[in-house]
Amino acid sequence: MKDPIMLIEALDNPNVRAFLRMLRHGEGTAGEDGYRVMFGGGLFDSFADHPRQAITRKLGGTPITSTAAGAYQYLSRTWDGLVKQYGFADFSPKNQDLGAVALIAGRKALDDVIAGRFEDAVRKCNREWASLPGSPYGQPVVTMARAGQEYEANGGTYEAVAQAEPEAAATLADFINPEALEADTITPTPKEQTMAPFIAAVLPSLIDLVPKLGRLFSSGSETSERNVKAAEIVVAAAKEAIGARNEQELLEILKADPSAAAAVRGAIESQWFKLEEVGGGIVAAREANAVYLQPGAPGFWLNPAFWVSLAFLMMPVMILVDMLFAHPGSYDDTLRTQIITAVLALLGIVGAYWLGTSFSSQRKTELQSGGAKLPIA
């Protein structure tokens, strides 16, 4: 068990106290009853322990369940982790403050807070409190300027920045580094794009909800960027569907509320067209078909997409012939309008597909031949 003395000493620091007041402002618990606030705005009675009440509220018509409570909106399992580390005997205001200091220390930001490196501390803590500026969780946040105002109003100060001494005049030798010049001739290996740990943690649960998600994700540097983009779309849709403030709350709600799981499943399904685009979709198909339009390539009539497009067009042509010439009296005005609209839409889709393929093929040819031109400013 960790020694809480360090937390008690840190809480005596005026910058730490000002930072905690700033956090409470962002979490909406700055009032007199802030230490008693539960998710949804209700108040609990006893400080003997975290209230551990899973409260459901409807936000935007979707039911949301959370155990968040106290001045820093601790989830019950977050508080349990702090109790295990520091042995807090109750959920009193003093222990809630000490717990917040512990979370700041856990984010390696306590030294920054004490020294007055305010913005550095905020950036390190914005994954712990979703209301902080720059938080990646998608809920409303306060601006850095507003957070700074609250910090200053409660006595927070900033680190004094020493004025830099005038630099000596640079010579040519200062800019010559033989090792750097040699390294500059080597083509660097592309760095594989990695997925944010919070997104990676929640993704398996979402794949359990929608198993076909699994086929979108694979390993290797060539697919890492696609995987990251698809994961971001999936997790963002899931959070928005149930109003979760962050990935941690999303997991907790999914485990506690079957109706939330259904809402998330529907939201992911509604975004499937975006996921297909990330995984390949129309863009990949155009790239494949563009091969048939390159100089020296096989004739376009050998392209499977040509015959598929032709089949799509045959049916509306036959319907139009029947409507205009064979049995014109069998169609009323409403049906004629609907058929013509559908035919035009289908023609537009097929036309846009082939125009896009032709354009991408033309661009590829220009780039390969060095004929691409930069835009003129």
Query: Catalytic residue numbers?
Result: 27
Report residue 184 as tokens. Answer: 């500059």
| Amino acid type, 145 | A
The secondary structure of 172-203, three-state, reads HHHHCCHHHHHHCCCCCCCCCCCCCHHHHHHH
The closest of 247, 245, 221, 223 to 234, measured between CA atoms, is 247
DSSP output for 217-235: ---SHHHHHHHHHHHHHHH
CB-based contacts of 39-46 (< 8 A; 24+ apart in sequence): 39/66, 39/67, 39/68, 39/69, 39/73, 44/69
Ordered alpha helix ranges (H), the chain: 5-11, 14-27, 76-86, 93-106, 110-115, 118-125, 144-153, 178-183, 197-209, 221-242, 247-256, 258-270, 272-279, 281-290, 304-321, 333-369
Nearest C-alpha neighbor of 236 from the set 195, 272, 199, 201: 199
> What's the rounded Cα separation, in Å, for the pair 80 and 272?
38
CA neighbor of 66 nearest in space, from 99, 28, 40, 36: 40
List beta partners, residue 57: 64
Burial class (CB in 10 A: 0-12, 13-18, 19+), 236: middle
> Which token pair is 65?
């369940």
* 318: CB partners within 8 A, 6+ apart: none
Residue type, 22: M
Q: 37 forms bridges with which residues in the sheet?
A: 43
